[in-house]
Amino acid sequence: MLIRDAVPSTDAAACAAIYAPYVIDTEITFETEAPDAAEFQQRIERAQDQHVWLIAENDGDTVGYAYAVPFKARAAYRFSCEVSVYLAPSAHGQGIGGELYVELLDRLAKRGMRMACAGITLPNDASLALHRSLGFTESGIYRRIGWKHGRWRDVAWFQKGLGDDPDAPPAGA
């Protein structure tokens, strides 16, 4: 398997194809309409402005992606980010999500990010286990925060400090 930086113009369609079933068939994402390749190209470009978007390839096929975006727009949040990982069905249970996240978190720390946050729609035992295995800790649950597929959904928030000393002041602060 190869993990590499996304190329917006060539990876957008594969990312859109991986993501669409999550939008249409699950509550994992709160989007209700699957974005097309053009929208994904813009999302990749925006993420790469300050953060990272990675692709996992297996024998030349895109089998997953992971990315980070700003956690919030206000300046005090500039060293924090929100992270996500999505896999093709064929890639589930192979450790690819963990490998993507390890590389993503390492690159984010090198860019000066100090906190990674992840929102997980409940229930989602696989995602909870993945985040916990990587050292994310639960910071709270938003109850009945999203309406999808005819039900209210809860979201658990997890976070993980990045860098050698996540409590130290960030460089350039």
Q: What is the CA radius of gyration of the chain?
A: 16
Identify whether 102 is part of a domain. yes
Identify whether 84 is part of a domain. yes
Average pLDDT, consecutive stretches of 10 residues, N- to C-terminus, the chain (173 residues): 97 98 97 98 96 96 97 95 97 95 97 96 96 98 97 98 84 70
The CATH number of residue 9's host domain is: 3.40.630.30
pTM of the entire predicted model? 0.95
Number of domains into which the chain is organized: 1
Whole-Å CA distances, 144 to 7, 105, 159: 36, 29, 20
Identify whether 170 is part of a domain. no
Identify whether 148 is part of a domain. no
- Report the pLDDT value the prediction gives residue 168, as an integer from 0 to 100: 80
Using the CB atoms, write b or e for 135-153: b if 16+ within 10 Å: ebeeeeeeeeeeebeeeeb
Pairing of strands 80-87, 115-122: parallel
Residue 41 domain boundaries: 2-116
Note the residue count of the chain: 173
